[in-house]
A and B are shown apart, each in its own frame.
Chain A
Amino acid sequence: MAPETKICAQHIDFFYGRTRALKDISLDIYANRVTALIGPSGCGKSTFIRLINRMNDLIPGTRVEGKIIMDGLDINHPRTDVVDLRRRVGMVFQKPNPFPKSIYENMSYGLRINGMKDRNFIEQRVVSALKKAALYDDVKDRLHESALMLSGGQQQRLCIARCLVVEPEVILFDEPCASLDPISTRKIEELILELKKDYTIVIVTHNMQQAARVSDYTAFMYMGELVEYDLTEKIFTVPKERMTEEYLSGKFG
């Protein structure tokens, strides 16, 4: 059964000032699958996923051309409600970035900004999101302590849990394990595999093995271009492009 398309990017060009950072990128992201973006530093993979929740809006002097359609909604349309879009498309960043508040306040933040006040309801959602992120047992006795007391790996799982609380449909991971040790990395990877049952996941990673382990589809990007996009097992076993093969075998990168 062919998977359902969740997000469809068509001929995306992206400019930082005059620099063209993305060149004619078209790809489909499938629902309930993990799509990995790999490629050397500066190839535009982070820039691309930041277009999906319009995080690049924050950078002055940038411009995007082409269309990204999610469930029939044109993401870049000037009348698209960015706040609503970002509620549907959660994001986990390269460096764990919990707020300098308590664990519980971090978790409830997404609900409170959406105007939810019912304490029982908030608590219920917080606990269930922490459980989903496999963090509940680690923190259940210190929910009101500062989130900055947690280890790096726990902070990153907190950021994932914080993003789950608002029940997004898509989760974007921007090199989520870049600053973590191998054991924490494994936990995050297990979590991603668990989460794909309920969410559509896009992950940017430097680590080719990580892409092989967690993803269903892999896109290889180079210098702002999409070189090859296919099922992960095909990309890693029978890549069509020579450049993909050379990158995966470590000839450059």
Chain B
Amino acid sequence: MTIPEGITDNLPGTWPKGTSGRKRIIRTSDISQALGFLALVLCIIFALLFLGSIVYFITSRGMAVISWEFLTEVPRRAMTKGGVAPAIVGTFYLTVGAMAFALPLGVACAIYLCEYSPGSVAVNIIRLSINNLAGVPSVVFGLFGFAVFVKVFGFGVSILSGSLTLGIMALPGIISASQEAILAVPQSYREASLALGATHWQTIKKVVLPTALPGILTGVILNVGRVAGETAPILFTAATFYTRGYPDSVFSEVMALPYHIYALMTEGTRPEVQTAIAYGCALILLALVLAISAAAIILRQRQRISYGS
């Protein structure tokens, strides 16, 4: 077949002359589509701009004070010299401690709610309460932690009290993420397992949980950032402005990055030096959250590969 002559004389994207086609016209629907698309692109740019400017400001202001000494040494001369190593270590312990407490408890609650609970009114009230727990202001958790863990249980102002308080704060998020992940496991997997003569618990342990794990880890990732960055819950339960060295047990009080930033910005006598250090701390906090999240993401990815989904 040959291409008829003259066909290339057309304007691009129009039918040749003399055919039944019409000239391309611009319709209102084309315009509204273009505008809608533009609006969406602008929204994305706007969101990225916010994120980018936060990272840019923190990095540009914080980089100046970052040095090996800053990362590895204890503070000296009323916070204006030395490093913030104890605060980094403290935040790491508090975050890991909170997750070590909230993850097993949260997953267990989610398993009960999804797999075992009868769909009764009582269970719906439990669900509702858990969701409401997520909306409680963090300072309230701080007061609760102080009253219960520090005073009643007698753990004192310590890593243990702080971790438990942060853990309870993270609990609703972990429970709802785990519930969603467990409910997303296809019913056909459960049926396959039960039909082979597995018990309900074996099915949960060997089929449901491994399949739900990536979703559960997503919940962990989202909560790590929140837990690591919270100030109010550790204010009365774990954090202290200054320690000479590193915590030696779970009953030690600790320095923590968010609280350290707060202290640097509100107390002390040399605000110009302290502000720079505060930005440095903020940068480290960002990096720490990113590192813990990255670890969880890698774990999730591995799990996805090994389960072939």
Contact = CB atoms under 8 A, between A and B. Distances in A.
Contact of A84 (B186, B197, B207, B211): B197
Contacts of A109: 193, 196, 198, 206
A213 interface: no
A74 B198 CA distance: 20
Contacts of B119: 60
A83 B198 contact: yes
Contacts, number: 76
A113 B307 CA distance: 18
Interface in B183-209: 186, 188-199, 202, 206-207
Contact of A113 (B189, B202, B211, B308): B202
A177 B85 CA distance: 64
A206 interface: no
A93 B188 contact: yes
A102 B305 CA distance: 11
Contacts of A102: 308
A91 B195 contact: yes
B309 interface: yes
B191 A163 contact: no
Contacts of A112: 206
Given A97-B188, A100-B211, A110 B309 contact: no
Given A58-B191, A97-B191, A99-B207, A148 B309 contact: yes
A95 B188 contact: yes
B188 A87 contact: no
A109 B195 CA distance: 12
Contacts of A93: 188, 191-192, 195
A125 interface: no
B196 to A, nearest CB: 4
B206 A86 contact: no
A112 B193 CA distance: 12
Nearest to A84: B197
Those 9 A-B pairs whose CB atoms lie nearest each other, nearest first: A146-B308, A87-B197, A97-B188, A91-B195, A100-B307, A110-B196, A86-B197, A113-B198, A148-B308
Given A86-B197, A100-B211, 17 more contacts: A58-B194, A60-B119, A86-B195, A90-B196, A93-B188, A99-B189, A99-B211, A100-B189, A100-B309, A102-B308, A109-B196, A113-B196, A113-B198, A159-B192, A162-B192, A163-B195, A163-B196
